Structure 1
Amino acid sequence: MQPDDYAVSAEFYDVLQAHQDEIRVHHLYGRDAGRARLGVLDIGAGTGRVTMMSLMESRVGVHAVEPARAMRAPLMTRLASLPTELREWVTVHPQTLEEAALHGVADVAICHNTIACLAPAARQALWPAVARALVPGGSLLLQLPPARLPDKDIMRVFPRQRVGRHEYGGDMLMSADGDRIRTRFDYWVRGSGNALREHIETFWMWPATRAELIGDLEKHGFAPLLRRDDPAVLAMTLSSGNNVLHSRRP
């Protein structure tokens, strides 16, 4: 990942996608964040939906890991609007988890909308870093990537949103490209029926099955938890690591 990745999408993400994503992260991870007793680790924090949810649901500190500068900008703006006493419970790490080198800081780790964007080598490098950041018995919850390449192109159109006199919209097109999934985002802004701006940003995704991810994580001391209500999430628990004293919010 480069510092300027998501330079285009960062402008449009909160307007077009974040409302539905906010609802989803509460549904997928809210109860887990509420059970945290040491800390919550948000891996790939983006503009902060999981971070904000964790702050609201838990009574512990939150570590938000986001290496992309463009996505950190709205994250930091969002955090800056919080009361000082709440903001003090969030630490933003402007690098990858491996580079952040966190040790025993959390008993709940959440990796939402991130794993699919990591190439296999980057994925393999992430698992030991997660194991170091969690304490024994800690939980890892990750949104599964696509299990396989798409058989045909998949199009998703974002609901149009109005901001003042302008209308924002776009779509996402996923297609197979070798062993990867090419994901192209087309964004547009219109005013008075006229096109004002159009932008394109392309990302790559790598498929992996649930069984493959479980096998990789088991090599680093993780064991599967019971299957979640939502099959899009894989839950694992860390069975080995370092002990750390609990530190709750007042």
Structure 2
Amino acid sequence: MHSVISRASVVRPLPDDDYAVTAEFYDVLQAEQDEARVRHLYGRAAAGARVGVLDIGAGTGRVTMMSLRESRVGVHAVEPSRAMRAPFMTRLAALPRGLRERVTVHPHCLGETGLRGVADVAICHNTVACLAPDARQALWPAIARALVPGGSLLFQLPPDRLPRTDVVRVFPRQRIGQHEYGGHMVMSAVEGRIRTRCHYWVRGAEGLLREHTETFWMWPATRAEMLEDLTRHGFTPLPSRDDPAVLAMAHSE
């Protein structure tokens, strides 16, 4: 019997929501590219789900929305950031009732949700790299509990090394009405971590209207290190996927 542990709880807001700035700009600047990438990386796995799909680090909902389209099962979306949940919930509210009823949003980290045996496919997109080593180690057993025996986990691998020099990625400019949105991010090696600094701007006919900066941290890890960690928690490798940036594992216990 698949179940969710019933418990009363108080959702504690994050002391500093790392996505308070980015939540406004993420869909505007990255949605189109990310939506296509999510479909390419995980669409086949979601379509094969027979029990449920678990979306870990749902963000503004790209994996969840894709999973709803590709599958006929329930989706559990885990997103502790209130800032990212706001556009996600608005997106869900606009769906037809039949689709909305298949989604449950959990405003906690996965280990706090009490989910057990609710999915046979777990997807963790653009999230593992942002977890410090201790948080990463706590994630694997929580995923194992949430999966049924034989369930699969697919996740985007973190960078395998620190960047030797600053890496700059420019976001494609987007126009909404009379305003143009844009920005860039810079990835730098700082004391064994990767600092990702995102800079956003909005311009109108009169010039720059506003600009914002937000910083995230990432922790590199090699594919071999990820395999070793997951093997200790009862996962075994699945055949390689089309994209080497994704690791696919099965949980046998």
> Aligned partners of 2:17 and 2:236: how far apart in 1?
35
Does the alignment pair 1:204 with 2:217?
Answer: yes
> Aligned partners of 2:206 and 2:113: how far apart in 1?
47
> Aligned partners of 2:16 and 2:196: how far apart in 1?
19
Does the alignment pair 1:231 with 2:248?
Answer: no
> Aligned partners of 2:82 and 2:71: how far apart in 1?
26
Task: Give CA-to-partner distance per residue, 1:188-209, whole Å, 9 cap, x none.
Answer: 0000050000000000000011
> Aligned partners of 2:66 and 2:217: how far apart in 1?
27
Task: Give CA-to-partner distance per residue, 1:9-48, whole Å, 9 cap, x none.
Answer: 0000000001100000000000000000000000000000
Partner of 1:61: 74
Superposition RMSD on alpha carbons, in Å? Answer: 0.8
Shift of 1:5: 2.0
Partner of 1:186: 199
Does the alignment pair 1:34 with 2:42?
Answer: no
| Counterpart AA for 1:197 | R
> Aligned partners of 1:62 and 1:83: how far apart in 2?
15
> Aligned partners of 2:191 and 2:147: how far apart in 1?
35
Q: TM-score, normalised by structure 2?
A: 0.94
Shift of 1:2: 4.6
Shift of 1:85: 1.4
**SS of equivalent residue, structure 1 residue 230:** coil
- Write out aligned runs for 1:44-123 (5 A): 44-123=57-136
> Aligned partners of 2:208 and 2:190: how far apart in 1?
30
**SS of equivalent residue, structure 2 residue 209:** strand
**SS of equivalent residue, structure 2 residue 183:** strand
Partner of 2:9: none
Identical-residue share of aligned pairs (%)? 76
Does the alignment pair 1:175 with 2:188?
Answer: yes
Assess if the C-alpha contact under 8 Å between 1:3 and 1:67 holds in 2. no
Structure 2 CA distance for partners of 1:134 and 1:150, relative to 1, 3 Å: same
| Counterpart AA for 1:85 | G
| Counterpart AA for 1:116 | A
Structure 2 CA distance for partners of 1:239 and 1:207, relative to 1, 3 Å: same
| Counterpart AA for 1:140 | L
Shift of 1:86: 1.1
**SS of equivalent residue, structure 2 residue 116:** coil
Assess if the C-alpha contact under 8 Å between 1:186 and 1:199 holds in 2. yes
Task: Give CA-to-partner distance per residue, 1:41-92, whole Å, 9 cap, x none.
Answer: 0000000000000000001000000000000001000000001111000000
> Aligned partners of 1:189 and 1:65: how far apart in 2?
30
Partner of 1:155: 168
Assess if the C-alpha contact under 8 Å between 2:124 and 2:154 holds in 1. yes
Assess if the C-alpha contact under 8 Å between 2:161 and 2:220 holds in 1. yes
Shift of 1:170: 0.2
Shift of 1:150: 0.4
Q: TM-score, normalised by structure 1?
A: 0.95
